[in-house]
Every structure is written in structure tokens, then in C-alpha cells.
């Protein structure tokens, strides 16, 4: 039998392929983020247009939404530590940082759910005969952000599993880079939405 000749790419080719993969992945993620920005621009514009049409109920924003804002900002700061840890090949730092970010992500959702409950107790609901456009928009913003947040939670879980398998190094950190970019976007997005809903009422 003839011996099989296995082709092994040269180190230079491997590096080129890795760079190309990183660029294409980031480009696709940026396209997704830009699409989301356009979606939110349209939704906030619709909010302003409907507000000016009248029949707009004013209500206080529950304090839990302020707490949730602080939580998601803190989670983003923690993930900056993860991104720093991978550059130093600090596997333990990556694991604990990602786990902490994931926990804070769930805490953020719990705070939002509690805030949603406070709104409901004060008669602010999404739809029905007792609903008002202002409350409907507020809750719609929360639900839409949760839909985007779900992708971030899944990404953090994937990063955590891969970090436990010690797959990330300073030279191979694409997953962490992409997860970080998306998670920071989610944090900035919520801060923007919170300030928008808090001051434009």
C-alpha cells in the first residue's frame, strides 16, 4: 500500500488563515450590530412620534432598572478583565471572569424582571384595555433588549465551556474577542435605552 501523504499547512499559512477568519468573523458581527442599531433607531423614533401624538401616561421608572443598569455596566468591566487575562494566558482569570460576567448577566435579567413586576403593580402593562402607549413602549424595549441579551448569554456560556477546556490563548482568542464586542455593545445599548426612557417621558 502506498503511504498517504498528509498535507500540513505551514505556520505562516496557519497564521494567515487565522487572521482571515478573525477579520471575517468580526465583519459579520459588526454587520449584525449595525443592523441592531438601525432597529433600535427605528423603535426609538417611533416612540418619539407616538409620544407627540398625545394620550401619553407619565410614570416613575422603578429603581430596579437603575440597579440593573449598574449591574450590566459592572459585567462589561469584568469582561474587560477577561480580555486582559487571555492576553496573559491566564486561564483561571478567563474562567472566573467569564463566570462572573455570566452571573451578572442573570442578575441583570432578574433585576429587570423585578422592575417589570413593579410596573405591573402600578398598572403599566404591555397590552389590553388598561394599557397606555408609554407603558407598552417601555415594556417592548425591555423585551427586545432581552432578545438581544439572550445571544450574549449563550455566547458567554460557550466562552466559559471553551475556557474550561483551555482552548483560549493569547494567539487564539477569537471567541473571547467576539463575545466581548457583543457584550460591550449590549451594555452600551442598555445604558442608552435607560437614559432615553428615563429622560424622554
C-alpha cell at position 43: 423603535
Residue 113 lies in a domain: yes
Summarised one tens digit per residue, pLDDT across range 24-66 is: 888 999 999 999 999 999 999 999 999 888 888 888 888 999 9
pLDDT, position 60: 85
What 8-state DSSP symbol labels residue 58? -
In which domain, by residue range, is 152 found? Answer: 63-199
Task: Report d(CA 55, CA 33) in Å as an integer.
Answer: 33
Summarised one tens digit per residue, pLDDT across range 84-103 is: 999 999 999 999 999 999 99
Residue 157 lies in a domain: yes
Residue 89 lies in a domain: yes
pLDDT interval class at 1 (50, 70, 90): very low
Compute the half-sphere exposure of residue 178: CA atoms within 13 Å on the CB side of its CA. Answer: 23
Residue 192 lies in a domain: yes
Residue 4 lies in a domain: no
Q: Structural domain tally of the chain? A: 1
Query: What is the value of pTM for the model shown?
Result: 0.87
C-alpha cell at position 189: 445599548
Task: Report d(CA 63, CA 116) in Å as an integer.
Answer: 11
Burial of 137 (0-12, 13-18, 19+ CB in 10 A): buried
Q: What is the CATH number of the domain that holds 147?
A: 1.20.120.80
Amino acid at each position: 500500500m502506498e503511504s498517504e501523504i498528509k498535507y500540513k499547512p505551514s505556520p505562516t499559512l496557519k497564521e494567515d488563515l487565522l487572521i482571515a477568519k478573525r477579520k471575517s468573523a468580526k465583519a459579520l458581527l459588526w454587520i449584525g450590530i449595525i443592523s441592531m442599531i438601525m432597529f433600535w433607531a427605528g423603535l426609538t423614533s417611533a416612540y418619539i412620534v407616538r409620544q407627540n401624538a398625545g394620550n401619553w401616561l407619565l410614570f416613575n421608572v422603578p429603581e430596579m432598572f437603575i440597579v440593573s443598569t449598574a449591574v450590566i455596566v459592572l459585567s462589561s468591566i469584568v469582561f474587560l478583565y477577561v480580555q486582559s487575562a487571555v492576553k496573559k494566558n491566564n486561564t483561571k482569570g478567563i474562567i472566573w471572569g467569564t463566570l462572573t460576567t455570566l452571573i451578572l448577566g442573570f442578575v441583570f435579567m432578574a433585576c429587570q424582571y423585578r422592575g417589570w413586576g413593579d410596573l405591573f403593580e402600578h398598572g403599566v402593562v404591555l397590552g389590553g384595555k388598561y394599557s397606555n402607549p408609554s407603558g407598552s413602549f417601555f415594556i417592548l424595549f425591555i423585551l427586545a433588549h432581552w432578545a438581544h441579551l439572550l445571544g450574549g448569554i449563550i455566547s458567554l456560556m460557550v466562552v466559559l465551556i471553551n475556557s474550561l477546556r483551555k482552548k483560549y490563548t493569547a494567539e487564539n482568542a477569537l471567541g473571547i474577542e467576539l463575545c466581548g464586542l457583543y457584550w460591550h455593545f449590549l451594555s452600551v445599548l442598555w445604558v442608552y435605552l435607560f437614559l432615553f426612557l428615563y429622560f424622554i417621558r
